[in-house]
Structure 1
Amino acid sequence: MALTALNVVSDPIYADAADVAKAMQPEEALFCFSADRLKARLALFADGFPGTVSYAVKSNPSREVVTALSQAGLTHWDVASVHEMALVHSIQPAAHFHYHNPVKSRREILDAYSKYGCRRFAVDAREEVAKIAAIVGDDRSVELAVRFVLPRDRATAAHDFSTKFGAPEHIAVELLQDIQRRGYVPVMTFHPGSQSRDPNVYVRHIEAAHRIAKAAGVHISKLNVGGGFPASYPLSKPAPLQSYFSLIAEATTRFFGKGTEPALECEPGRGLVANCMSLLTRIKLVCSDGDDIFLNDGIYGGLMEFMQAPVLQPPYRVIRGGKVLEGPSKPWKVFGPTCDPLDVLPAKLDLPAGIRDEDFIEFGTLGAYGIATSTMFNGYGNHAVIPVDEVFNG
């Protein structure tokens, strides 16, 4: 996939989070964002994936990220709501949307179709097909993507996507036939699960897509292999991205036949944006008679996913006076700023024994599901996004 870059971005003001901490002395937690790091990651997908690359907006809906991707030439966007469409449309009016949330209200379908020009909708139920058809009528440019699901046979992902959405194979066959009978463009899609560590899970789904299409007697022009592409965390080190791309291309040709393969699409979220942001927090209190510290952010803020999936523990470092603090370490129990006793990280962190109030702790690799899942509980969570040249990833 080739991208055409638009040279619109101004140079970042700060070198990194340590520079931000020294210059700004921020009282509130904030995110440091490297547009250059994001664009470099997008280039890996654009150059390596054998098809169209879209961005799963849900993973990071900040204007800074959407703007940088748009400026780098991305034109396709995987969205889960019309609110995400509105955001992207305000930045890129000619955006192409893949509305891949399989459950949508009638008003959401109408707004997506009429207001934002969306012509791709995911479905996993007969009722959803009928609902969309009642709104779009005989518009044969509409693509309906059947989202199918396979039984989960082993833990290959940090978050299992098989429990909420996706039609089993026999229903997927019926949906494809119904879509073709109604005259819409049949497409197929799946999601292997977030932070998929085994690239062979894509092969298994591509084989199933061919099996379903063959049983339905339907030719699919496009196959969306979903997201799931992993980022690198201290406790979750994935295979290189290129191994995913190569296996996906090889499997598509092997199962569908050379020259008759569907056009491929993907919709990375975490794998695209995780390493473009870090979270800069500040210590509010160090309990000298124990091992407790309190930060100005926590699980109701930028660290929510760490609580949900401890394997995605972000890398971290302490900053004092604009420099990384070294020295002997000890385990610390880390609480967030809210009044809720649940606001505590799921594991102790090894931090310098000499940390003190007003030191900063930077958590890296939080470009995905950091700012996206932050709440305003107790008034915390209104994170600024500060541009930097380099962002910490451990």
Structure 2
Amino acid sequence: MEKLSSASALIEKCRPERPVRGLRPHAAGRAARWFLENFPGDVAYAYKANSSVFLIGALYGAGIRHFDVASLPEIEDAATIPDAHLHFMHPVKSRHAIRRAYDMGVRSFSLDSEDELRKIMECTGNAKDLILWVRLAVSAINSRIPLEHKFGIYGQPAADLLVKARQVALELGVTFHVGSQTGTPDAYSTALGDVHRLIVQSGVMIDRLDIGGGFPSRYPDSDPAPLQDFMKVIIAGIEQLPVKDNIKLACEPGRALVAEAESLIVRVDARRGNNLYINDGSYGMLFDAAHLGFIFPTKLLGRDVDPSEPLVPFELWGPTCDSIDHMKGPFLLPASIAEGDYFEIGNMGAYARAIAGRFNGYGEYDEVILLDPPMLSMYGADATELPAARSR
């Protein structure tokens, strides 16, 4: 794959017909190193967030060896990674997927019901080498995408399930998820309090605790607390647990590891007032912008703009014939932007690639590796700020 200094260098070299994914593997590697250095346990990358071989390679090169996988295709893909430890953390799995995963060496499974526990035991032949994680439902506090309504168990049923799982598990864990893009660390403090009460209520000693994902990334409309604040709260909460000295920890970052590691370079095919019609949209990599209201950083490419020219808010429309192919934004770009211009949409490494489809025949992308920093960053003293979105 071609390497270029920036998205601007791409437009200087050619004017691509298709939208372009700009990969920044170095950003994924930096994020992974931060988590490995600051989290006191296993860092299991949430494979669903982005399975690009270039980003997986960067995470692996940084030291990631654990992977949170949620489907059989993800397991079959991730099983090719040398020395990978796979954790099948979807709480509802088909019998075929459980059998196939176990045959491929997976021993780590999550569950949130007695039916799922029974299914796992039956499909693994009552195996004696299982790591079983009981998924606890916890409150979503200041998260962009709450998850507690679909999965998880709580109260006395959770305590009962923990007792039953303890009887058959080689190692027993508790896991939870505070919701995607959680802006403040108090969600983890509350969840760890729930874990504490569950352990006391059940009278069961656990071997492992997985605090899930939810760690945030930066966007123009979201300036979350520093990741170090999250770690302080998490470590303090774990210190209050009755099993703190004999427990192995894990987390499942997805967005926080790869959001900064990919951007999208698009062309303006038409302008109508403050509406820009571009060559990718909600059926492609902009699903989150269309359906969840995410606002991503934007930067005009390929030509100079007068520094005094104002940045104005635009709405974006994708290339399909569907009227829901609409990203309200606002996305800030120079007032003079016109048909034929290109711009970069940054910090799109989380979920955008995974969700993109082929509706109306669109969904084909070119790819390049970019060597410059991401537009926004959560990491370190060299974390970047949003640059002027005016020009190259």
Shared fold (TM-score, shorter chain, > 0.5): yes
Aligned-residue offset at 1:392: 2.9
1:147 equivalent among 135, 145, 163: 135
Which of 237-246 and 101-110 deviates more? Answer: 237-246
Taking structure 1 as reference, are residues 206 and 357 closer, same or farther at Cα in structure 2, changes over 3 Å only?
A: same
* Alignment partner, residue 109 of structure 1: 98
Output aligned runs, 1:28-177, within 5 Å.
28-90=18-80, 92-115=81-104, 117-152=105-140, 155-177=141-163
1:267 maps to 252
Deviation at 1:255, TM superposition (A): 2.4
Give me the whole-angstrom Cα distance separating, in 1, the residues matched to 2:74 and 2:40: 26
Q: Please, which runs of 5 or more residues in structure 2 have no aligned partner?
A: 377-385, 387-392
Partners of 2:139 and 2:178 within 8 A in 1: no
Whether contact under 8 Å (1:286, 1:293) holds in the other structure is: yes
d(CA) in 1 for partners of 2:262, 2:305: 18
**1:383: how far off?**
2.4
Residue 353 in structure 1 maps to residue 335 in structure 2 = yes
Match of 2:201 among 215, 230, 233: 215
Task: Look up the equivalent residue of 2:281 and give its one-letter code.
Answer: G
SS in 2 for 1:202: helix
**Are the counterparts in 2 of residues 317 and 324 from structure 1 also a CA contact under 8 Å?**
no
Distance 1:383 1:123 in 2: 37
Instruction: Give a deviation string over 1:274-323, Cα, whole Å, max 9, x none.
Output: 11111111111123xx333210011111111112222x3111111124x6
**AA matched with 1:23:** K
Segment drifting more, 40-49 vs 206-215: 206-215
For residues 331-389 of structure 1, the C-alpha deviation after alignment (integer angstroms, 9 at most, x for no partner) is 33321100001111123433222212221121111111211211111111222331111
Partner of 2:379: none
Give me the CA root mean square deviation: 1.8
In the alignment, what sits opposite 1:3? Answer: none
Give the deviation of 1:258 after TM superposition: 5.2
Deviations 1:251-273 (A, max 9, x none): 1112226524x211000011111
CA contact (8 A) 1:33 1:386 kept: yes
CA distance in 2, matches of 1:106, 1:330: 53
Whether the 8 Å CA contact 2:109–2:133 is kept in 1: the answer is yes
Q: Contact 1:138/1:183 (CA < 8 Å) preserved in 2?
A: no
Distance 1:384 1:174, change over 3 A: farther
* Cα separation, partners in 2 of 1:218 and 1:384, compared to 1, 3 Å: farther
What do residues 125-150 of structure 1 show as CA deviations (whole Å, max 9, x unaligned)? 11100000002224222111000113
Higher mean C-alpha deviation, range 346-355 or range 25-34? 346-355
92-101 or 249-258, which moves further after superposition?
Answer: 249-258
Match of 2:383 in 1: none
Q: Distance in 2 between matches of 1:161 and 1:348?
A: 26
Structure 1 residues 35, 184: CA separation in 2 closer, same or farther (over 3 Å shift)?
same
Match of 1:14 in 2: 4
- The equivalent residue for 1:339 is 321
Query: What letter is aligned with 2:349?
Result: G
Letter in 2 for 1:303: L
Worse-superposed segment, 130-139 or 268-277: 130-139
**Residue correspondences, number:** 375
Q: What TM-score, normalized by structure 1, do the two folds share?
A: 0.91
**Please, which runs of 5 or more residues in structure 1 have no aligned partner?**
1-9
Quick one: distance in 1 between partners of 2:169 and 2:152? 22
Stretch of structure 1 that moved more, 366-375 or 120-129: 366-375
Inter-partner Cα distance in structure 1 for 2:98 and 2:56: 23
Distance in 2, Cα, partners of 1:145 & 1:34: 34
Query: In the alignment, which residue of structure 2 is the partner of 1:7?
Result: none
Partner secondary structure for residue 40 of structure 1: helix
Separation (CA, whole Å) in 1 of partners of 2:332 and 2:369: 28
Is the Cα–Cα contact under 8 Å of residues 213 and 254 in structure 2 kept in the other structure? yes
Kindly report structure 1 stretches of 4+ aligned residues shifted beyond 6 Å.
Answer: none
- Give the conservation status (yes or no) of the 8 Å contact 1:325–1:352: no
> More deviation in 122-131 or 63-72?
63-72
Counterpart secondary structure, 1:273: helix
Distance 1:285 1:83, change over 3 A: same
Contact 2:132–2:169 (CA<8 Å) still a contact in 1?
Answer: no
Superposed counterparts of 1:249-260, under 5 Å = 249-256=235-242, 259-260=245-246
Alpha-carbon distance in 2 for matches of 1:231, 1:172:
31
- Contact 2:205/2:243, CA 8 A, preserved across alignment: no
User: Contact between 1:275 and 1:367, CA under 8 Å: does it hold in 2?
Assistant: yes
Task: Note the C-alpha offset of 1:209.
Answer: 1.1
Distance 1:258 1:62, change over 3 A: closer
> What's the % identity of the aligned pairs?
34
- The amino acid of 1:99's aligned partner reads F
Describe the shift of the 1:324–1:263 C-alpha distance in structure 2 as closer, same or farther (beyond 3 A): farther
Distance 1:243 1:186, change over 3 A: same
Q: Which residue of 1 aligns with 2:390?
A: none
Q: Corresponding residue for 2:381?
A: none
Alignment partner of 2:110: what SS? Answer: strand
Name the CA shift for 1:295/1:128 in 2 (closer, same or farther; >3 Å): same
2:329 is paired with a residue of what secondary structure?
Answer: coil
Equivalent position amino acid for 2:266 in 1: T
